[in-house]
Structure 1
Amino acid sequence: MKKIYCLLFSIITSHCLTAQQGTLLASAKRDSSGVFIGDMHATEQVESVSAARQYAIINLKKDLEGLDRGSKNTLLADAGGNERNLNSEIFATYLARLDKKYKGDVRSIETDNIRDIFQIDQKSEIKKRHSSVISAQCFSNKNDGRFIKMKDLDGEEIIGFPLESFKGNSRYGLVENYHQGFARIKKDQVFGFLNYCGDETIPCQYEKAEPFNDGKALVKKFDWYFVDVYGNESEGLENIVDAKALRMGVNVAKFKNGKYALIDNNYDISKKPLSDYFDEIVTFNNELFRVKVGKNYGLIKIDGSTKIDAIYDDINATAEQGKWMIIEQNKKVGLMDTEGNIKIKPSFESIVNISIDPTISNNSTLGIARDEAGIRLIDFKDLRTSKTYSAISDFNKYGLAQVKDGKYVGFINLDLKVVIEPVYSTLGNFNQYGLVSACKTNLNGATKCGYIKYDGTEIIPIAFDEVAGFNRFGLVVAKENVKNCSLPAGNCRVDVIYDKNGNLVIGKTNEAAPIGIKYATTDTLFNGSFIAIKTLNPLKNGDDMPVEYNLVERNGLKRITTQSYLSIKRYDANLLFPVMKDGKWGLIDTTGKIIAKPTYKDIMVTTEGLYGVKYDNNKYGFIDKKGKVQVAFDYDEVRPFNNGLSIVSRGQGKLGVINRFNAKIAPCFFSEVNILPATKQFELLDSSGNKFVLNSNGDCVTNCTKFDEIRKLANQ
């Protein structure tokens, strides 16, 4: 017999009737409008009523075989096969057989003198299947229709009317997926039920309605009633003011006197509840309900019998559902199993579950117990406990929690194993590289810091007075206070930089007489490949250090600059960085090699392989990508090269044009020189307003006689 103890409890949120949520299947997924409950998507379209009957019979045969395992039931042996043979009459005959069989099975169980949970379970399973049979009878009367293969709220494959076709219809305030053969709906502000064909077999007429629960559903007009799968209403349920469906034909009801009790689907006839009356009934775990009597709590079973007497100040489930529970007596808490055996005497101030992120662990069941000595971890699977600590943090993404033992901290894992001994004065939070800052206090009282891995391996030596946080490229600054510095004289701070693997990227300048120097990592990239490191170099007089920069190659995390620079510009097409040192500009390549020493007062972005630079004489010239001077420093102004030509000036507002070899294509005689955008020609004007035009190669094309006279005069 298929057991169904857990069939519905996983989707019950609360059965305390004071809760606002009024549905057994409240946690089933709703759509964004809150109207549609459950996944109603089709797994397959059913093209004809005949095919729907065929699928229905296949499913009903599976149900029957599940109930009669081991038997050779031939009730539907001739069902299925060729769908041509499954007309409405044959289909109706098969369902009539099932209807009769299931009714007989229920009567047989009810007349049996032996009563146990297995029989309750078996009876429940039969009634659920019977509900499906009654709902499926609608296919006998259909000649056409649109149906789909889908899964109902219990995850079982069914054939039914596509409920999503109600989307956008303002008449519906609730459309719930099928459950035990029927779909609960709220239309025009009252509840009713649809069968598998989408027929309103139980018309919308109820103020409230619960899902079907083993052949009957709780409904309310003025009073509460049961309605069965045929739409027949029971007599009114006496003294009941509210009710919620549970499972196996059992419900929880609130009575006029404010008390709660479990009732079964025969309450309209018996007038007797299954359980005693309580001040509160709520779901405890998959098998039990927590009940309240006055100020005390106990547990009852689904059949209403007492499991644990209501003698405790409180009872709560542990993370290990169904195995242990947290009990409270006389303001002390302990653990008890569901048979009532005390496993940990109520001696703690508190025991609480720890919520573990499922991305860390799906099966961890830990709690924290606190008493006068401190706090400890409890594994609810086997009741193992950790050592007592003065503090325990939340578990991080590595499954580790920081613990404090006296003055020192370490880490413990989900198996209650100490993976990093509590020998550190402080520990930070694990970063994206699985590293955590760690500090120790030595015998002299000095505190030294570094970084360790999540398994305790030392990555950055615990030898520094301070460590910063890693940047997003995996670099970190470690700081050391040293004595007898050479710059500035006396004591100073010396920084170094490590990478995430513990490799020294930038070390001390001079071990024997260290120079005080400070670094700060940044997330700034040059050309997507080089990381900028802020650098504060020492000054002899102790003034504030100016901010300069070093470069570290991103992929290999290797320093490429041999010294820091006040300014670094992005590298160009020649893969050269313009850099400034001591107020002068130069060039370095992507390996840090100096191409042009920082000796120039200004530098222009390269054009056609040449850089305009300003020399100490305050004159401009050009150097090439090897740092060699190609155009001497003779000009007060130079402009970028264009097709091998550059506009230059020697002062007094006189402009000319030179080529890459400093040949004077047009002498510095003209008051204005422009490049015409459309033709790239040079237009020159003299002080008298005469206009001259040179082509893009520097050859004269307009007013050339006069231009030759000017050029001849300049060449003398």
Structure 2
Amino acid sequence: MKKILATLVLVLLALSSAAGGKQDAPSLKPVERDGKWGFADLAGKIVIPPQFDYAGGFSEALAPVLTGSAWGYIDESGKMVIPPQFAEVDLFAEGLAAVKTGGKWGFIDQTGKMVIPPQAMIQPYSAPLRFTEGLVPVTIGHRYGYMDKTGKVVIPPQFVVTAEGGAPAEFSRGVAEVEIPPTWGYIDQRGKMVIPYQFQEGRPFRDGLAPVAVKGKWGFIDKSAKMVIAPQYDEVEPFSQGLAAVLLGDKYGFIDMTGKLAVPPQFDQTERFSEGLARVRDNKEQKWGFIDRTGKLAIPYSFSNAGDFAEERAWVELDGHGGFIDPAGKVSFTVDKSVFFTSPRFVGGLAPAYSQGKWGYVDKAGKFVIQPRFDFARDFSGPTAVVRLGKRYGLVDRSGKLVAEMKPPAALGESADGLTQFTPDLQGNSWGFVDSSGKMVIAPRYVVPPVEGGMPPRFSQGLAAVYVKGKYGFIDRREKLVIAATFDEARSYGDGLAPVATGYRVAVIDKTGKVVKEVPAGKNPPRGD
């Protein structure tokens, strides 16, 4: 079964995170004035007056604040929604936050209800104490395991953290790297060892490959544990668009997924490829430029800061001013200092932008075509984009009209094929879909599968893989089960095909459910979307 799971994961990139697992970028940041803490917007304007003894950042629309010796949580209006009562706290993630009371840690929901009672095995490390993909580390003695959101320990404590300042691994796309000295391996969300202990160090999987260290050098393995790129580099970065940055000595270059050196080491710093270009930095000049996939400097070192390309535009900073350039390096437009972008990119010709405390959308000429009024805004997908006003999620069209609003605590996830993921609460225990008008077209009755890489259902090419009574099937936009739930694993459609597995049989099916190709375990079938 390990080889089958590896084969399926390699069929396509893992699905993107939805609302339950993807944090909204905060629009407010904590600031200190004369010994008291409040919150300012991205332009530095005070929005919540300094009044607290300390404050943390916003996450899932709530921020921890200290009053005297007790912590509580405020919303983005400054209202105290969870009264100060805890000795220590952490940020919200997946609808829950870790809090300490009576000398022990537990978890509360966004109403302040204690959903996992305080207990000795819940202990913080150097990393945030939070749920990822439905699991959180718990500790007994010097060993850790994992607990689910019901408070049940689903993976008994058995792993250790040896690195100074280290922390237990968070799950990423269904697997986590774990250590029992002196070696590392990988487990799935059931605690099953899917890749045995054998590495000096391991890191999360991306694009089906994970960096591992052997005798002080880094290489890459696939999910069948095969060493596909031999350990030989001093440092490596994840793959993006088929290339990964590698360090040899003190210079970075790029390799392809076969391990072939595509760009010889010559750069002081590098970032990932996007739309065929990658950022590189000259440390002596302290400037960024862009190279193409051959390593040629396509855009000269000119910028004090730069972002990735998306829809032929990349954010850059030059002489204290920000703006966008095209792939030729020509400045598309400059941005006023009162306007901010977080990971700016264009989708369908529009990009979310922040000004004077609110989010709106600009076009490729830099003009606000949807004026800033939202507390958060996602990229457009088709005719609408997911936005948030206070605690209310909604959909806005390209004219800026709010076409739908959800009643809290309901949340919206990602949009595809004209349908947007919907969950009744931020914990994301059940999922359905709304259309571009906000009408519920599929009720939230589908769960996130408790299997490796399990994610909320997502439509692709008119069908969505859903988990029904322990098996995968496919529904259409009318929620008709057009392909029976008989598969142990399934992924989204791409080019009219979807990868599935039943027992030890891995195959690619068409939209009628007909097997068009058998795939031997460990081989790579065609990628989906």
Q: Does TM-score exceed 0.5, indicating one fold?
A: no
The answer to which structure, 1 or 2, has the higher relative contact order (CA under 8 A, 6+ apart) is 2
Normalising by structure 1, we get a TM-score of: 0.30
Normalising by structure 2, we get a TM-score of: 0.39
Higher strand proportion (structure 1 or 2) = 2
Higher CA-based Rg = 1
